[in-house]
A and B are shown apart, each in its own frame.
Chain A
Amino acid sequence: MAMLAIRTRDLTKDFPVGFWRPRPYRALDRLTLDVAQGEVFGFLGPNGAGKTTTLKLLMQLVFPSSGEAEILGRPLGDLGVRRRTGYLPENPYFYDHLTAEELLDYYGRLFGMAAADRRKRAASALDRLGVGAERRLQLRKFSKGMLQRVGLAQAVFNEPDVLFLDEPMSGLDPLGRRDVRALMLELRDQGRTIFFSSHILSDAEALCSQVAIVAKGRLAAAGRLADMREFAVHGWELVMAGVPAAALDRVRQRARRVLTIAGDRYAIELASDGRPEEMLRELTATGATLVSLNPLRETLEDVFVKRVEEMGEGARG
């Protein structure tokens, strides 16, 4: 069997809560996960589900209460492995007084890179992430989105085999999101493993080969997103403009629901077996034009809620 990029077994973390008679709060409960090399792995869950805790455990920023984990077949904390990994923390923060260039130079020294190598890698990573002339400004002058880009640059500039990204899209504008998606796919094509956390389903849909869903510190589901029953298409939403009144009656008979958006523009909701292609063909024949056609499926939030409810009170005291 090929070596796994990430392997966790019953990884558990309790944080003591309360000053007087502190009691343990279980942030992560017996997480067992295998991530193969070369995979883009989405680690999904609502806020407070234990995503960041898991990443911190893997980065040894916090230590497990029980259980174990390996990265590239080596136990956590192995300095050799850290040379081959990259990490973007959630809302990354660096040093106010350093410029982006100096930051990468500092980190490059820790990797033991030679001066010329440091310069070259820093420049190419900052170029790749779209950090232009700002790289000579001190980081305290950076916006949240720019810091996120610098954070990504420092995570990838050592050309890691395994990349850990905690909410990589957060703080980015649509353009930034697009850039980051492109970067992730590029890294995937180079055979690198990407383990990223997100609470946004569309990010996962666009990028991931595999996902794991966590809720309340527990693994709720893992596998291919397409195989997950909850995410199957349960209907279609067809938005058409210029629909003649005569055609509308026929539509109403076959649609689950028809909503008037404005004037002669309608949102037509069809069942999953409602064959939207046929409806589209018929309506365009009457002179109507297509505005949009979208599959309807449960959002990640819906699934989270459902899973959390399923886990119920019985499982957690």
Chain B
Amino acid sequence: MKTIASVALAVFRESVRDRVFYNLVLFAVLLVGASILIGQLTAGQDVKIIKDVGLAATSLFGLFIAIFVGINLVSKEVERRSVYPLFAKPIRRSEFIVGKYLGLLLTLLANMVVMAVALYAVLFFLSRGVPANIQSAWDAPALDPALLKAIALIYVDLALVTAIAVLFSTYSSPMLSAVFTIGIYVAGQFNTDLRRFDQIVSSPAAAAIGRVCYYVLPDFSRFDVKLAVVHGIPVPAAYVLAAAAYAAIYIAALLFGATVIFSRRDFK
């Protein structure tokens, strides 16, 4: 356990030194810029738009980190041969994989926390001074705690993307890993469509392939409650937990696969 924590902390430190957190500056600029711009527009709509922009940006920035840091996590160490001295130490390859994964989750968490705080801060300043009767007409209050549910599910979504990236990076080049990970992420957005594939295509073979893909690919649309939250549609806690559990099962399977592949790999 200590070994895994050591690897995870090393990943976190590397992210800090590699200036991964610079994205936060861009995020803040984007958010503040958007709010000033939108402030010129109709009152009442602006809070909703800021929530929209904020959540979308949180998701997108997180996705960039998950994919582009994730695909390099393992492959970079193999490529540069820093695994040689490392694996001569008392560490299992499985501990390495899990530690790397958790380290990136920690980096993502720190990122998300800062972005969430920034989003709430902007919303606070925007809603300040708006009369109570107008505020009560909004779909949801400006500092809606439900936003946290959306952010939590974005984090779950990113955790799953990271696991996919790590799996690919155990045996593939960073370039291919990125392509595969993005491919699965995009395909996973349309997972529900795959389920109804037989109603769209006439070929039974194509329908069968669609069905297999539906069962194998993770359903990423489950983690997207941004629209519901922005419009004040309640998201039950049970839904959030079920989605998290769904992701956890996928993540466990992906990391298990990554460990099996990596543990047998020759470092030439």
Q: How far is the CA of A109 from the CA of B7 in the complex (A)?
A: 9
> Within 8 Å CB of A98, what residues of B?
10, 13
Q: Which of A91, A107, A151 contacts B89 (CB 8 A)?
A: A107
B88 within 8 A of A: yes
Residues of chain B within 8 A (CB-CB) of A142 are none
Which residues of B in the span 50-99 have a Cβ within 8 Å of any Cβ on A?
Answer: 80-92
Interface centre among A87, A102, A151 (most CB of B within 10 A): A87
Residue pair B84, A89 in contact (C-beta under 8 Å): yes
Residues in A neighbouring B6, C-beta threshold 8 A: 106, 109-110
Q: Contacts A62-B267, A93-B80 given; indicate if A110 touches B85 (C-beta within 8 A).
A: no
Chain B residues contacting A151 (CB-CB under 8 Å) are 85
Query: Given A61-B84, A112-B2, A97–B14 Cβ distance below 8 Å?
Result: yes
Given A106-B10, A110-B90, residue A89 in contact with residue B3 (CB < 8 A) = no
Whether A59 and B84, one on each chain, are in contact in the complex, defined by CB atoms closer than 8 angstroms, is: yes
Chain B window 1-20, contacts with chain A (Cβ cutoff 8 Å), 1 for yes, 0 for no: 01100100010011001100
Instruction: For B88, list chain A residues within 8 Å (CB).
Output: 59, 61, 82, 85-87, 164
| A62 → chain B closest CB, angstroms | 4
A63 contacts partner chain B, Cβ-Cβ < 8 Å? yes
Q: Closest approach, in angstroms, between the C-beta of A19 and any C-beta of chain B?
A: 14
Which A-chain residue is minimally distant from B87 (CB atoms)?
A61
B268 touches A15 (CB 8 A): yes
Which B186-212 residues have a C-beta within 8 angstroms of A? Answer: none
Give the CA-CA distance A83 to B6 in the complex, in Å.
16
Contact flag A154-B82 (CB < 8 Å), given A62-B266, A110-B91, A112-B2: no
A93 to B81 CA separation, bound complex (whole angstroms): 6
Is the C-beta of B264 less than 8 angstroms from some C-beta in chain A?
Answer: yes
Interface residue ranges of B1-53 to A (CB < 8 Å): 2-3, 6, 10, 13-14, 17-18
Is the CB–CB distance between B82 and A93 below 8 Å? yes
- Given known pairs A85-B88, A111-B90, the reply for A94 and B267 (CB within 8 Å) is no
Chain B residues 217-268 with CB under 8 Å of chain A are 264, 266-268
Contacts of A93 in B (CB 8 A): 80-82, 84
Contacts of A87 in B (CB 8 A): 84-85, 88
Instruction: Say yes or no: is A295 at the interface (Cβ < 8 Å to chain B).
Output: no
Cα-based distance from A62 to B268 in the complex (angstroms): 7
Q: A59 and B81 in contact (CB under 8 A), knowing A97-B14, A109-B2? A: no
- Rounded to whole Å, the gap between the CB of B13 and the closest CB of chain A is 8
CB contact list, A51-71 vs B, under 8 A: 56, 59-63
State the Cβ distance, A154 to closest chain B Cβ, in Å: 6
Docked complex: A23-80 residues within 8 A CB-CB of B: 56, 59-63, 79-80
Q: Is the CB of A82 within 8 A of B90?
A: yes
Nearest chain B CB to A305 CB, angstrom units: 27
CB neighbours (8 Å) of A242 from chain B are none
* CA A106 to CA B2, docked complex, whole Å: 11
CB-nearest residue of chain B relative to A109? B6
Given the known interface contacts A93-B82, A95-B82, A97-B17, the answer about A59 and B10 at a Cβ–Cβ threshold of 8 Å is no
B-chain residues with CB within 8 Å of residue A59 when the two chains form the complex: 84, 87-88
Of the residues A15, A88, A95, A154, contact of B14 by C-beta under 8 Å:
A95
Provide the residues of chain B in CB contact with A88, threshold 8 Å.
85
Task: Report the bound CA distance from A95 to B10 in whole Å.
Answer: 10
A60 to chain B: closest residue by CB: B87
Q: Which residues of B contact A102 (CB under 8 A)?
A: 13
Which residues of chain B come closer than 8 Å to A111, judged between CB atoms? Answer: 89-90
Q: A171 near B: Cβ within 8 Å?
A: no
Q: Which residues of A contact B267 (CB under 8 A)?
A: 56, 61-62
Q: What CA separation (Å) do A61 and B80 show in the bound complex?
A: 14
Q: Is the CB of B266 within 8 A of A63?
A: yes
Interface residue? A145 (CB, 8 A): no
Considering the complex, give the chain B residue whose CB is closest to the CB of A155: B85
Q: Which of A63, A80, A89 is in CB contact (< 8 Å) with B85?
A: A89
**Chain B residues within 8 Å of A83, by CB:** 90
Which residues of A sit under 8 angstroms from B82, Cβ to Cβ? 93-95
Give 30 pairs: A residue, B residue, CB < 8 Å, sorted on A: A59-B84, A59-B87, A60-B87, A61-B88, A62-B267, A63-B264, A63-B266, A79-B90, A79-B91, A79-B92, A80-B90, A82-B90, A83-B90, A85-B88, A92-B81, A93-B80, A95-B10, A95-B82, A98-B10, A98-B13, A106-B6, A106-B10, A109-B2, A110-B3, A110-B6, A111-B90, A138-B17, A151-B85, A155-B85, A164-B88
- The 10 lowest CB-CB distance pairs between A and B, nearest first, are A87-B88, A89-B84, A109-B6, A97-B17, A62-B266, A82-B90, A110-B89, A79-B90, A61-B267, A59-B88
List 12 other contacts, CB 8 Å, given A87-B84, A95-B10, A138-B17: A59-B88, A62-B267, A82-B89, A88-B85, A89-B81, A89-B84, A97-B14, A102-B13, A106-B6, A107-B86, A110-B3, A112-B90
Q: Which residues of B contact A (CB under 8 A)?
A: 2-3, 6, 10, 13-14, 17-18, 80-92, 264, 266-268
Which A positions have Cβ atoms within 8 angstroms of B?
Answer: 15, 56, 59-63, 79-80, 82-83, 85-89, 91-95, 97-98, 102, 106-107, 109-112, 138, 151, 154-155, 164
